[in-house]
Amino acid sequence: MSYFFWLIVAVAAFVIEMMMPTFFALFAGVGFLVAAGVAFASPESLFAQLVVAAIFMIIGAVIFKKNRIGDDERNAVGTHNEFTGIEGKATRSLSPHSEGEVELYEPIVGNRVWPALSLEGEIEAGGQVRVVKLRGNTVVVEKI
């Protein structure tokens, strides 16, 4: 297989990696890049190219998973997790199964008032809350 093919696939994997907040496609991109090197040195060795690509992808995934790189979701910029920990108060009572409303002390995406669900138990109007996560356009909060 031509090394051009491997280079194109590697670039595509790196572009996908840049658009995603995980290290999902990074391993594939590195594997494809090394396979391009093997294809350049030995164009007729398709099996060796596939094996080298697979080995580099597996090694990369094992190393990153073992060191837990990319597993930390706290305060990940560009994701909904960056809003965890923001405090506010309940303006309408809420529970895990009944949506209420909270007013946050810091705005999330330019808005202070959000529909909310409680993580555990019921929270009465006026109760102090902290954002645990975002679920769609609803914040999940816990009582402080």
| CATH number of domain containing 113 | 2.40.50.140
Contacts of 9 (CB under 8 A, 6+ apart): 32
Count of the separate structural domains present in the chain = 2
Both 50 and 85 in one domain: the answer is no
Both 9 and 61 in one domain: the answer is yes
Of 44, 66, 88, the last residue of a domain is 66
pTM beyond 0.85, yes or no: no
Range of the domain at 114: 80-143
Amino acid at 143: K
* 8 Å CB contact between 141 and 108: no
Q: Convert the pLDDT of each residue in 119-135 to its tens digit.
A: 999 999 999 999 998 88
Here the tokens at position 81 are 């997790």
- Asked if residue 74 is part of any domain, the answer here is no
| Average confidence (pLDDT) over 109-124 | 90
| Average confidence (pLDDT) over 89-100 | 93
Both 97 and 124 in one domain: the answer is yes
